[in-house]
Amino acid sequence: MSNRIDATFENLRATGEKAFVAYVSAGDPNLERSLEILIALAEAGADIIELGVPFSDPLADGIVNQAAAARSLAAGCDTTGVFELIRRFRKSHQVAIVLFTYLNPVYTYGYNAYHRDAAEAGADGILLLDLPPDEAALNCEMASHAGLRQIRLIAPTTPPGRIDLLTRHAEGFIYALSRTGVTGSHGGPSTRIGDHVSAIRQHTDLPVCVGFGISTPEQAALVASVSDGIVVGSAIVKQVELNADAPDVADKVGAFTRPLIEAAKAPR
């Protein structure tokens, strides 16, 4: 089945460019502003948008993204609101969207129904933070993906045997963490990220995008030089937080993100 994530990486390979994946929380600071932010990121040149689904217990996230989820929930965003946000975005833009979520809201909604409705709304992939692929394999209900590419996280401490398992069950691209820990809890990306990417590439031909700790154009350029793309999350979400009450929050987020995208995509 044709998928925007696959098409995006095919086009990037053809042009020799690296991918820029931007993370924001859906509904932050509210649904109207969130739509404007998605459009601003798309028009700034983001190739893929990771859309965080607000959840009350985002244990893998640091304080910046936890606060974003809290703002989204306080503004009334729920799963149906996230799907409606994607539908509205799809009226004007075709940038690939990956849902970044925990298992609880998916399972509560209904695993198959969630995947079906997300794909019908216009989502292209899903990253289930707390569902290991070996555990998913034990539940036949979780075998159906209904059109969403299953993105996998791989940490720098993941042993080779585990990398092999994760990559065998991965689709779309690999999200390689530059460091261990929760989001936004560290300084810059690890200086050994190139070794981490090389280790993953021994097990898969999927593109490898690196996230955690990227907040400056210099860091973006460095990580892009040893990977197939970069993921920037907390630094963008922090801009939403700082400008949450500003009517031009989307413009400010776009202005912050554009130099990071240019640095990641600069010829090298």
SS (H, E, C) the chain: CCCHHHHHHHHHHHHCCCEEEEEEECCCCCHHHHHHHHHHHHHHCCCEEEEECCCCCCCCCCHHHHHHHHHHHHCCCCHHHHHHHHHHHHCCCCCEEEEEECHHHHHHHCHHHHHHHHHHHCCCEEEECCCCHHHHCCCHHHHCCCCCEECEEECCCCCHHHHHHHHHCCCCCEEEECCCCCCCCCCCCCCCHHHHHHHHHCCCCCCEEEECCCCCHHHHHHHHCCCCEEEECHHHHHHHHHCCCCCCHHHHHHHHHHHHHHHHHCCC
Which of 6, 17, 47, 50 is the catalytic position?
A: 50
Which of 6, 61, 124, 228 is the catalytic position?
A: 61
Tell me whether residue 50 is one of the annotated catalytic residues: yes
Tell me whether residue 117 is one of the annotated catalytic residues: no
Q: Taking a C-beta distance cutoff of 8 angstroms, is the pair 32, 243 a contact?
A: no
Distance in Å from the first CA to the final CA of the chain: 33
Residues classed as catalytic: 50, 61
